[in-house]
């Protein structure tokens, strides 16, 4: 360990040091660090916009919308000046925005504030990021180099993978992201399920799958926020999150580029799986920025079981 480190940090591993020890190349390290810092600003905005804190009643729901856009602006502006990002694709923007000079290494995809409609309930929400090296119009397996998400809950946590395992950091009171769990690995099988969509809109095969999970004793854990719902599968070392094809929307609800690819990248790195029922999420070709896909993501036993039910 290097000299000159304050006593109180001697025994902790912060995010920058962890990435350095992991041998992640310098530009990617700096980019991930910058995005983690953006998480602090977004968290501050969440606090600031809290009308309960200010004694207001949240009647119009406009704050949540504004919060999405503010988070997007903060992220985009930060990345604009980073020197590492040539394009920025966000759930908040219709098209991919060129934000660099053109020769920068990375393209960043973002769902800047997922689950923002949950803000007034004080449930956890999050930021989801994918980092790509070539065009995003490819499959994730070819184009992705890293992914991360930040949870804004009782604690602020950041989970990242740059292709060398999955690691969790907690933002401490000094503003440092401190390593809390290294090399997170899922068990083969979990004990919880998070089923998205309305039961009346599910297909028969999906319904049978969920019935089986219920009769096998899986516990229902669905918050309605994609980030915390995925996070509990990761932190509890298994389980399944699904957002299936619905009768009226066969591509489901969630977006491939901004939501599904980053979580699939992290889940695979933790030893889990993610499919649309037939193909791995990271094998699907992205042809448009707002492409959606059904998803079954979690520990491998439950994902494999989903594939069996859906093929029947
Ligand atoms: O971004 C979409 C989202 O809010 C996710 O965070 C969440 O998983 C999903 O929608 C919840 O959808 P529903 O309200 O249909 O359960
Ligand atoms: Mn979202």
pLDDT tens readout for residues 103-113: 999 999 999 99
Whether 25 and 57 map to the same domain: the answer is: yes
Whether 250 and 284 map to the same domain: the answer is: yes
Whether 209 and 121 map to the same domain: the answer is: no
Calculate ∠ Cα 153-157-159, nearest 5°.
130
**Mean pLDDT, to the nearest integer, of 187-198?**
98
Q: Tokens representing 255?
A: 């977006």
Instruction: Assess contact for 93 and 79: CB atoms under 8 A.
Output: no
In DSSP terms, which residues pair with 104 in a beta bridge? none
Split at pLDDT 50, 70, 90, the class of 36 is: very high
How many whole angstroms from its chain centre is CA 200?
27
Number of domains in the chain: 2
In DSSP terms, which residues pair with 148 in a beta bridge? 129, 160
Task: Give the number of the atom of ligand 1 that is nearest the alpha carbon of residue 259.
Answer: 1
Is residue 238 situated within a structural domain?
yes
What count of other Cβ atoms lies within 10 Å of the Cβ of residue 162? 24
Q: Which tops the pLDDT comparison, 163 or 51? A: 163
End-of-domain residue from the set 127, 159, 181? 181
Is residue 1 situated within a structural domain?
no
Q: Which residues line ligand 1 (CB under 6 A)?
A: 114-115, 196-197, 224-226, 229, 253
End-of-domain residue from the set 181, 206, 226? 181
Whether 270 and 149 map to the same domain: the answer is: no
Instruction: Assess contact for 122 and 99: CB atoms under 8 A.
Output: no
Split at pLDDT 50, 70, 90, the class of 53 is: low
Q: What is the pLDDT of residue 87?
A: 98
Residue 56's CATH number: 3.30.540.10
**Mean pLDDT, to the nearest integer, of 277-306?**
98
Q: What is the pLDDT of residue 100?
A: 94
Q: Which tops the pLDDT comparison, 56 or 265? A: 265
Task: Give the number of the atom of ligand 1 that is nearest the alpha carbon of residue 116.
Answer: 4
Whether 33 and 127 map to the same domain: the answer is: yes
Domain that holds residue 220: 192-310
Is residue 216 situated within a structural domain?
yes
Split at pLDDT 50, 70, 90, the class of 52 is: low
3: pLDDT strictly greater than 70: no
- Spatial separation of the C-alpha atoms in residues 92 and 101, rounded to whole Å: 22
**Mean pLDDT, to the nearest integer, of 211-237?**
98
The CA 115 to ligand 1 mean position distance, Å, reads 7
Is residue 59 situated within a structural domain?
yes
CA-closest residue to ligand 1 atom 11: 224
126: pLDDT strictly greater than 90: yes
- Spatial separation of the C-alpha atoms in residues 194 and 198, rounded to whole Å: 12
- Spatial separation of the C-alpha atoms in residues 286 and 292, rounded to whole Å: 9
Task: Give the number of the atom of ligand 1 that is nearest the alpha carbon of residue 225.
Answer: 6
**Mean pLDDT, to the nearest integer, of 195-209?**
98
Instruction: Assess contact for 168 and 215: CB atoms under 8 A.
Output: no
225: pLDDT strictly greater than 80: yes
**Mean pLDDT, to the nearest integer, of 155-163?**
98
What count of other Cβ atoms lies within 10 Å of the Cβ of residue 150? 27
For the chain, give the mean pLDDT. 92
Instruction: Assess contact for 259 and 229: CB atoms under 8 A.
Output: no
* Probe residue for ligand 1, chosen from 225, 241, 260 as the CB with the greatest number of ligand atoms within 8 Å: 225
Whether 196 and 169 map to the same domain: the answer is: no
Whether 156 and 231 map to the same domain: the answer is: no
- Spatial separation of the C-alpha atoms in residues 295 and 123, rounded to whole Å: 23
Is residue 39 situated within a structural domain?
yes
Is residue 224 situated within a structural domain?
yes
Whether 53 and 170 map to the same domain: the answer is: yes
- Spatial separation of the C-alpha atoms in residues 64 and 73, rounded to whole Å: 14
Whether 53 and 131 map to the same domain: the answer is: yes
Q: What is the pLDDT of residue 4?
A: 46
Q: What is the pLDDT of residue 58?
A: 47
Residue 230's CATH number: 3.40.190.80
Whether 226 and 306 map to the same domain: the answer is: yes
**Mean pLDDT, to the nearest integer, of 89-109?**
95
Task: Give the number of the atom of ligand 1 that is nearest the alpha carbon of residue 224.
Answer: 11
What's the DSSP call for residue 282? G
Is residue 207 situated within a structural domain?
yes
CA-closest residue to ligand 1 atom 3: 115
Split at pLDDT 50, 70, 90, the class of 40 is: very high
Q: What is the pLDDT of residue 37?
A: 97
CA-closest residue to ligand 1 atom 12: 224
Whether 256 and 215 map to the same domain: the answer is: yes
Whether 94 and 135 map to the same domain: the answer is: yes
63: pLDDT strictly greater than 80: no
- Spatial separation of the C-alpha atoms in residues 88 and 79, rounded to whole Å: 8
End-of-domain residue from the set 147, 181, 215? 181
In DSSP terms, which residues pair with 219 in a beta bridge? 192
Calculate ∠ Cα 140-108-196, nearest 5°.
60
How many whole angstroms from its chain centre is CA 53?
27
Q: What is the pLDDT of residue 120?
A: 84
Ligand nearest to the CA of 124: 1
Instruction: Assess contact for 71 and 125: CB atoms under 8 A.
Output: no
Is residue 187 situated within a structural domain?
no
- Please state, for a pLDDT cut of 90, what percent of the chain lies above it: 85
Q: Tokens representing 223?
A: 């918050």
The CA 11 to ligand 1 mean position distance, Å, reads 39
Task: Give the number of the atom of ligand 1 that is nearest the alpha carbon of residue 241.
Answer: 8
């Amino acid at each position: 360990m290097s000299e000159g480190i304050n006593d109180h940090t001697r025994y902790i591993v912060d995010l920058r040091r962890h990435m350095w020890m992991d041998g992640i190349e310098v530009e990617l390290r700096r980019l991930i660090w910058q995005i983690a810092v953006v998480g602090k600003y977004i968290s501050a905005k969440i606090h600031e916009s809290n009308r309960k804190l200010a004694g207001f009643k949240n009647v119009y729901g406009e704050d949540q919308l504004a919060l999405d856009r503010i988070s997007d602006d903060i992220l985009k502006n930060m990345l604009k000046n980073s020197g590492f990002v040539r394009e920025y694709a966000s759930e908040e923007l219709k098209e991919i925005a060129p934000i660099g000079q053109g020769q920068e290494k990375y393209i960043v995809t973002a769902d800047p504030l997922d689950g923002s409609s949950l803000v007034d309930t004080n449930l956890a929400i999050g930021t989801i990021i994918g980092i790509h090296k070539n065009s995003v119009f490819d499959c994730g397996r070819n184009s992705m180099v890293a992914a991360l998400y930040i949870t804004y809950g009782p604690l602020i946590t950041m989970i990242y993978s740059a292709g060398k395992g999955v690691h969790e950091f907690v933002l401490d009171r000094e503003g440092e992201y401190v390593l809390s769990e290294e090399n997170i690995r899922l068990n083969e099988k979990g004990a919880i399920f998070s089923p998205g969509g309305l039961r009346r809109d599910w297909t028969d095969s999906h319904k049978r799958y969920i019935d089986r999970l219920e009769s096998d004793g899986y516990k229902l854990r669905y918050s309605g926020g994609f980030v915390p719902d995925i996070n509990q599968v990761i932190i509890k070392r298994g389980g399944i999150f699904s957002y299936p094809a619905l009768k009226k929307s066969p591509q489901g609800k969630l977006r491939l580029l901004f939501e599904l690819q980053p979580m699939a990248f992290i889940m695979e790195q933790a030893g889990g799986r993610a499919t649309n029922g037939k193909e791995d999420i990271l094998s699907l070709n992205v042809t448009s920025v707002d492409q959606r896909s059904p998803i079954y993501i979690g520990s491998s036993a439950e994902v494999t079981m989903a594939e069996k039910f859906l093929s029947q």
